Amino acid sequence: MLNARIAVVGAGWWSTYAHIPALQAHPQAELVAIADVDAAKLDKAASYYNIPSAFTDFREMLAKEELDGVIVAVWHAAHYEVAMA
């Protein structure tokens, strides 16, 4: 079975301490990209978790990456915008 190619939008606490470790522990998930508007948080998460692609614009990530799923881990007021993209 092929791995699901997953991206995460948001590099805050929930992503870095819950979602990303869970994805990396899952045998059929491949975390291929992350996006966050905060470049410092983004670079730290991408480097620490060895995520191959990092974007400060989630729309650019969606356009450039072939994804099977996206975890939306942003502030609640931004969920709609990200989920509907």
Q: What is the CATH number of the domain that holds 45?
A: 3.40.50.720
- Phi first, then psi: give them for residue 10, nearest 5 degrees: 115, 130
- More confident site: 1 or 6: 6
**What pLDDT sits at residue 1?**
63
The C-alpha atoms of residue 58 and residue 48 are separated, in whole angstroms, by 20
Q: What's the domain count of the chain? A: 1
pTM over 0.75: yes
Name every residue whose Cβ is closer than 8 Å to that of residue 26 and which is 6 or more positions away in sequence. Answer: none
The string of pLDDT tens digits covering residues 67-76 is: 999 999 998 8
Q: Please give the residue range of the domain that contains residue 55.
A: 4-83
The string of pLDDT tens digits covering residues 7-38 is: 999 999 999 999 999 999 999 999 999 999 99
**What pLDDT sits at residue 2?**
81
